[in-house]
Amino acid sequence: MLKSRVVISEIVSSNLNMKMRKKQKKNIRSYIMKSLKTFLLKIVQDGQLTLMININHLSEYENGVK
């Protein structure tokens, strides 16, 4: 009985670790997307480069990641 409890607690803790890692990965990815968006917007606003940027496409990609 004791042995099965240990196994179960190991499974639960490994599941929690996986969930935490997934969440962290999402946060990093969304942070990168937001940084990229602001960077691209800054370029466009400065008018240094005339780029056709579809900001909505970036938003859709970011939403798809979540």
Question: Which pLDDT score, from 0 to 100, does residue 50 have?
Answer: 47
Single out the residue of 35, 36, 53 nearest to residue 44, CA to CA. 53
Question: Which pLDDT score, from 0 to 100, does residue 45 have?
Answer: 65
Q: Domain-by-domain residue ranges, the chain?
A: 2-65
Question: Which pLDDT score, from 0 to 100, does residue 33 have?
Answer: 82
Whole-model pTM over 0.75: no
Per-residue pLDDT, averaged over 10-21, amounts to 75
32 and 65 Cβ atoms separated by less than 8 Å: no
Residue 54 banded pLDDT, cuts 50, 70, 90: low
Q: How far apart are alpha carbons 14 and 18 in whole angstroms?
A: 6
**Cα–Cα distances in Å, from 45 out to 6, 57, 58?**
58, 18, 17
- List, for residues 23-39, the tens digit of each pLDDT value: 777 788 888 888 878 77
